[in-house]
């Protein structure tokens, strides 16, 4: 009986392995995982093309893509030129959506904390140790801050969120840039680590006096208060979809970024963007694909998916707390996608 | 004289049997080969260094070895007395039907998947420990990892201790009883002595399981590569850093360092299991020669 | 004098009482985690389990419904694949050990099986990743099944060997005396008699690999779709539970509990059933 059952099962497995056609596999950043999952579901229903994406982290997304194990990668941190060489030299960074990294805290009675870049740097460097430090109180007139110790919470794993956050810190502070640096994982001068956005949010929630950074959606889903950060124009801005979009359009004013966009390089740094309504810690997330997909049976399907994600797919972003790409950028990206060799 | 079928039968079955050492050999070879870049780069200092910095491409193993050892020791500190007590109850004290239920339930403890323990650890055990232990501020830390491990190795220690106790010949017990010994005295005088090396074997086998356990620990230990004296601080184990970072590792050296960690883990577990098996085998064989 | 012995016997009785209570308490405390785990898994999981849970694909955040039907199927496919590797090696290897494995080579193979069984499953995952995934250039069910199959081998080998050795030698000799070739005696008479015990070992080993997560993380990987092709990433209940458990979304936590309930019911069900049929083989 059992043997027969097994035999039937085996035969059906081998039969099925030829019956299904295209499955595109991708892996990488966890930050866009919820929106990619939504896209993949809707897209597979509309087109019959199955795109499988798994959130394993940006570093892993790059490694598995370089090794040729996945058809495309997902990353919140751009690949370096050396990595691109290793992947065959023909890697396109396709931006899909944007998001904000919120600085979140746990301080009873304080719901509208304001900080500037220097204060954030000093807190995460461990230089500011108490909540009633003059450099914090001066930014928060009228707010009574307790003489409590500050507990810094950061990521313990490699992460695109960390990359965006440290890119911002390195941009506003030479001290941070030279002593700590920026990247998916850095050697933190202070604080405790949490695994994933989830771990950081959990530790902030559990510890009174804690401060940490998480993606906006995690702060909102966990009802954590978020810091209003002083932007380039001197305004204190809360992270939100609007302030994220404002940051993107602000950043596009920059000649350097426009030049990159026109040259088809979308590894844009959106942190500390100009504009009065811009939130300063904003980043984009990319799909990593090969420019040359000749001979790959999946190339056409993958291009179709990318085009869909950049057009119809964008409308699903806001409900999941991602900011859609600015139209101007989207157009340029689609032009570049058209140059993919099939 | 020999039947041709027999010759082939022997050959074919031997082929399958010999594929076991063959697989083992390839496994060790691959781990060695893939960890070679890290071994060359860091030398023996890898084992004693405390830095794990993927950004600077600097790696070393001590925080993970420390985390693995301490969490396993916590597990032993809890599971050994508990498991031994349980084994004594099952083999020496109880005659009731109740005992069979206990035995089955402890056995089932071993059947529950690791990831389910992890889920339970995150949402039930961690918060509960925070509530009852003053000074513990969050549920993901070394102590929670140790307690989860204790639960997971409890069946191993209980089952093997029970086996060892039962291997002690009945007449030793009878002679103690005949002298009017209570159960405690009987255990102390007649059973504990002959069973000692087997018990140590059971403990070490439990340790072996604890060292290699991955998912549940990864989910509750906090995953921070720093050596901290506090049991309430997050820690990291060899197995969990591999689970977390293996698919995530960016540089080749990072990957190689992770595989070297796997190699260290492999060597430790093989050594420990070897010793344990020897000890269990010695006790059971002493009284029940096959 | 008299008094002294009385005190002594009192002390002895108290000691005995403490001893008995202590070991009884140990036994009770030891089973508390089982009740807690099963209790929580049941209470938190039962609410999220319905028919859809077994027939639908995972739903994106913010959508209600959805399930992990593909993961349930994936787990079964992975088990079948691992049996394809683990059973022939385990069973034939065990037969060889029982029949011809008396010498030095037998000792070596037995020792290798012991070592293999003590290797942490995550290390076996690395092995499968390097050997299969990087060669095939794809995460696949084959790689996952390979890793799980290796984990099965030692258990199946040792059970087969022990079960065959338990068959009385006279049965084997009787077969030979009838002029039947040795290999036929071994397979059709000895092995068939031992089959019940061997089957028990296989099922216990299957229930163990069903619960494995670590070796699948970077071999079978995960998939959001129904997938029946074994050269593609395959989802499994354990990996899906893990992903859901560490996510920040409450609706996914509920799915993790529901998945755990399914998995625990399956695994404990197999273990208990098998135990009923054979008391000789222990778990693990």
DSSP C119: S
From B51's Cα to the closest Cα of chain A, the distance in A is: 9
Contact B250 A192 (CB under 8 A): no
Which runs of E-coded beta strand occur in B224-264? Answer: none
Q: Which of B31, B124, B184 sits opposite C19 (nearest CB)?
A: B184
Report pLDDT for C283. 38
User: Does A101-251 match A22-97+285-337 at the fold level?
Assistant: yes
Report pLDDT for B290. 45
* Number of Cβ within a 10 Å radius of residue A112: 12
Contact B8 C27 (CB under 8 A): no
Q: How far is CA C71 from CA A210, A325, B23, C66, in A?
A: 38, 34, 29, 12
Report pLDDT for C150. 96
Per-state percent for chain B, helix, strand, coil, to nearest 5: 75, 0, 20
On the question of pLDDT at B288 being above 70, the answer is: no
Give chain A as a 3 state SS string. Answer: CHHHHHHHHHHHHHHHHHHCCCEEEEEECCCCHHHHHHHHHHHHHHHCCEEEEEECCHHHHHHHHHCCCCCEEEECCCCCHHHHHHCCCCEEEEEEEEEEEEEEECCCCCCCCEECHHHHHHHHHCCCCECCCHHHHCCCCCCCCCCCECEEEEECCCCHHHHHHHHHHHHHCHHHHHHCCCCCCCCCCCCEEECHHHHHHHHHHHCCCEEEEEEHHHHHHCCCCECEEECCCCCEECCCHHHHHHHHHHHCCCHHHHHHHHCCCCCCCCCCCCCCCCCCCEEEEEEEEECECCCCCCHHHHHHHHHHHHCHHHHHCHHHCCEECCHHHHHHHHHHHHCCEC
Interface test mutation site (partner A, options C143, C199, C226, C228, max chain A beta carbons within 10 A): C228
Chain C residues within 8 A of A224 when measuring between CB atoms? none
Q: Any idea where the domains of chain A sit in the sequence? A: 22-97+285-337, 101-251
Report pLDDT for C2. 60
Q: Flag whether residue A25 sits within 8 Å of chain C, measured between CB atoms.
A: yes
Mean pLDDT of B172-182: 86
Mean pLDDT of C153-158: 94
Give the closest residue to B84 by CA, choosing from B144, B157, B167, B29.
Answer: B157
Report pLDDT for C203. 92
On the question of pLDDT at C86 being above 70, the answer is: yes
* Number of Cβ within a 10 Å radius of residue A16: 15
On the question of pLDDT at C21 being above 70, the answer is: yes
Give the closest residue to B58 by CA, choosing from C259, A187, A328, C142.
Answer: A187
On the question of pLDDT at C164 being above 80, the answer is: yes
Apex A81 CA angle, A76 and A86, nearest 5: 95
The interface predicted TM-score (ipTM) is 0.90
Contact C80 A52 (CB under 8 A): no
8 Å CB contact between A57 and A157: yes
Question: What average pLDDT is seen over chain C?
Answer: 89
Contact A37 C139 (CB under 8 A): no
Q: What is the pTM of this model?
A: 0.88
- CATH no. for C65-280: 1.10.3720.10
Mean pLDDT of B39-53: 89
Mean pLDDT of B122-133: 89
Report pLDDT for A18. 42
d(CA C62, CA C58): 12
d(CA C190, CA B159): 30
On the question of pLDDT at B262 being above 90, the answer is: yes
Among A1-10, C132-141, C227-236, name the one with the lowest average pLDDT: A1-10
Up-side HSE of residue A338: CA atoms within 13 Å toward CB? Answer: 6
Domain count, chain B: 1
Q: Flag whether residue B201 sits within 8 Å of chain A, measured between CB atoms.
A: no
Report pLDDT for A10. 55
Chain B residues within 8 A of A156 when measuring between CB atoms? 222-225, 234
Contact B54 A195 (CB under 8 A): no
Report pLDDT for A6. 55
Q: Flag whether residue C245 sits within 8 Å of chain B, measured between CB atoms.
A: yes
Residue A152 forms beta bridges with which residues?
Answer: A211
Tokens of A212: 């940490």
Chain C residues within 8 A of B105 when measuring between CB atoms? 30-31, 34
Chain C residues within 8 A of A197 when measuring between CB atoms? 248
| Backbone φ, ψ for residue A262 (5° rounding) | -65, -30
How many interface pairs between A and B have CB atoms less than 8 angstroms apart? 72
pLDDT in tens, C138-153: 899 999 999 999 999 9
Q: Is residue B268 part of a domain?
A: yes
d(CA C67, CA C226): 12
8 Å CB contact between B157 and A222: no
On the question of pLDDT at B264 being above 80, the answer is: yes
Give the dihedral sign, CA B277/B278/B283/B288: positive
Q: Which residues of chain A have pLDDT under 70?
A: 1-21, 195
Mean pLDDT of B211-227: 87
Q: Is residue B233 part of a domain?
A: yes
Q: Chain C window 255-274: which residues touch B at a Cβ cutoff of 8 Å?
A: 256-257, 260, 263-264, 267-268, 271-272
- Residue of chain A whose Cα is closest to the Cα of B243: A56
As its CATH architecture, domain A101-251 has: 3-Layer(aba) Sandwich (3.40)
Mean pLDDT of C32-45: 94
d(CA A188, CA A211): 14
CATH number for the domain that contains residue B178:
1.10.3720.10
CATH class, domain A22-97+285-337, is: alpha beta
Q: Which domain holds residue B86?
A: 46-287
Contact B90 C27 (CB under 8 A): yes
Report pLDDT for A115. 95
Going by pLDDT thresholds of 50, 70 and 90, the confidence category of residue B21 is very high
- Residue of chain C whose Cα is closest to the Cα of B160: C282
On the question of pLDDT at C284 being above 50, the answer is: no
- Residue of chain C whose Cα is closest to the Cα of B185: C16
Among A302-306, B12-16, B180-184, C277-281, name the one with the lowest average pLDDT: C277-281
Q: Flag whether residue B267 sits within 8 Å of chain C, measured between CB atoms.
A: no
- Residue of chain B whose Cα is closest to the Cα of A73: B248
Q: Which of B3, B12, B16 sits opposite C181 (nearest CB)?
A: B3
8 Å CB contact between A168 and A181: no
Q: Flag whether residue B224 sits within 8 Å of chain A, measured between CB atoms.
A: yes
Report pLDDT for B221. 87
């Amino acid at each position: 009986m059992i043997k027969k059952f097994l035999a039937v099962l085996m035969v059906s497995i081998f039969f099925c392995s030829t019956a299904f056609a295209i499955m595109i596999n991708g892996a990488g950043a966890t930050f866009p995982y919820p929106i990619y999952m939504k896209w993949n579901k809707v897209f597979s229903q509309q087109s019959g093309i199955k795109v499988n994406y798994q959130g394993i982290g940006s570093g892993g997304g790059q490694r598995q893509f370089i090794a040729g194990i996945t058809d495309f990668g997902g990353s919140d941190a751009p690949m370096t030129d050396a990595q691109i060489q290793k992947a065959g030299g023909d890697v396109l960074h396709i931006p899909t959506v944007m998001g904000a990294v919120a600085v979140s805290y746990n301080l009873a009675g304080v719901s509208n904390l304001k900080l500037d870049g220097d204060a954030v740097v000093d807190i995460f460097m461990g230089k500011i140790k108490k909540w009633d430090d003059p450099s914090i109180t001066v930014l928060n007139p009228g707010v009574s801050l307790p003489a409590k110790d500050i507990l810094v919470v950061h990521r313990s794993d490699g992460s695109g969120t960390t990359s965006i956050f440290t890119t911002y810190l390195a941009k506003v502070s030479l001290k941070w840039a030279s002593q700590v640096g920026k990247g998916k994982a850095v050697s933190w001068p202070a604080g405790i680590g949490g695994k994933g956005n989830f771990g950081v949010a959990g530790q902030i929630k559990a510890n009174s006096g804690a401060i940490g950074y998480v993606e906006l959606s995690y702060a909102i889903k966990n009802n954590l208060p978020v810091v209003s950060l002083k932007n380039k124009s001197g305004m204190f801005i809360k992270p939100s979809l609007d302030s994220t979009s404002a940051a993107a359009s602000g950043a596009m004013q920059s000649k350097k970024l426009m030049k990159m966009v026109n040259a088809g390089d979308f590894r844009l740094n959106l942190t500390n963007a100009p504009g009065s309504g811009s939130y300063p810690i904003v980043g984009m997330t990319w799909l990593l694909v090969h420019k040359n997909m000749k001979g790959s049976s999946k190339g056409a399907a993958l291009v179709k998916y990318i085009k869909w994600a950049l057009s119809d797919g964008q409308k699903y972003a806001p409900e999941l707390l991602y900011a859609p790409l600015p139209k101007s950028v989207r157009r340029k990206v689609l032009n570049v996608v058209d140059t993919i060799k099939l | 004289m020999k039947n041709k079928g027999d010759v082939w039968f022997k050959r074919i079955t031997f082929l399958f049997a010999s594929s076991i050492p063959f697989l083992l050999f390839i496994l060790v070879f691959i781990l060695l080969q893939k960890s070679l870049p890290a071994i060359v780069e860091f030398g023996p200092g890898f084992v004693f260094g405390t830095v794990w910095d993927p950004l600077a491409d600097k790696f070393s193993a001590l925080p993970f070895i420390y985390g693995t050892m301490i969490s396993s020791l916590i597990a032993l500190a809890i599971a050994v007395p508990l498991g031994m007590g349980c084994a004594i109850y099952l083999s020496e004290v109880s005659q009731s039907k109740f005992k069979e239920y206990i035995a089955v339930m402890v056995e089932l403890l071993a059947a529950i998947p690791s990831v389910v323990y992890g889920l339970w650890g995150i949402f039930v055990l961690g918060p509960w420990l925070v509530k009852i232990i003053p000074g513990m501020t969050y549920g993901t830390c070394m102590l929670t990892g140790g307690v989860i491990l204790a639960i997971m190795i409890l069946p191993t220690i209980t089952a093997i201790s029970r086996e060892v106790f039962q291997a002690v010949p009945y007449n030793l017990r009878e002679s103690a009883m005949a002298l009017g010994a209570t159960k405690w005295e009987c255990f102390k005088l007649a059973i504990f002595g002959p069973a000692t090396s087997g018990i140590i074997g059971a403990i070490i086998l439990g340790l072996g399981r604890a060292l290699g356990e991955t998912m549940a620990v990864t989910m509750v230990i906090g995953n921070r590569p720093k050596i901290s004296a506090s049991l309430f601080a997050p820690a990291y184990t060899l197995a969990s850093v591999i689970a977390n970072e293996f698919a995530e590792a960016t540089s080749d050296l990072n990957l190689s360092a992770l595989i070297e960690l796997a190699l260290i883990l492999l060597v430790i577990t093989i050594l420990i299991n070897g010793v344990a098996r020897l000890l269990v085998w010695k006790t059971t064989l002493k009284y029940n020669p096959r | 004098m008299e008094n002294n012995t009385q005190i002594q016997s009192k002390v002895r009785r108290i000691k005995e009482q403490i001893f008995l209570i202590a070991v009884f308490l140990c036994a009770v405390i030891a089973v508390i985690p089982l009740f807690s785990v099963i209790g929580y898994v049941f209470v938190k999981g039962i609410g999220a389990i319905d028919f859809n849970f077994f027939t639908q694909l995972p739903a994106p955040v913010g959508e209600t419904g959805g399930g992990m039907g593909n993961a349930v199927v994936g787990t079964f496919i992975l088990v079948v694949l691992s049996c394809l590797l683990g059973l022939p090696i385990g069973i034939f290897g065990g037969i060889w050990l029982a029949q011809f494995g008396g010498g030095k080579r037998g000792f070596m193979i037995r020792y290798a099986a012991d070592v293999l069984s003590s290797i942490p499953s995550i290390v076996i995952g690395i092995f499968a990743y390097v050997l299969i995934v990087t060669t095939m250039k794809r995460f696949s069910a084959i790689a996952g099944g390979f890793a799980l199959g290796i984990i099965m081998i030692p258990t199946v080998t040792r059970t087969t060997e022990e079960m065959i050795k338990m068959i009385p030698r006279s049965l084997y000799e009787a077969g030979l005396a009838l002029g039947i070739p040795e290999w036929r005696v071994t397979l059709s008479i000895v092995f068939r008699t031992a089959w019940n015990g061997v089957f028990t070992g296989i099922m216990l080993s299957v229930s163990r690999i069903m619960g494995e997560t670590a070796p699948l993380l970077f071999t079978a990987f995960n998939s959001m779709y129904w997938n029946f092709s074994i050269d593609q990433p395959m989802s499994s209940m354990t990996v899906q539970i893990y992903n859901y458990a560490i996510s920040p979304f409450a609706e996914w936590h509920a799915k993790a509990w529901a998945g755990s309930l399914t998995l625990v019911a399956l695994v404990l069900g197999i273990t208990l059933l098998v135990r009923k049929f054979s008391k000789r083989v222990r778990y693990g």
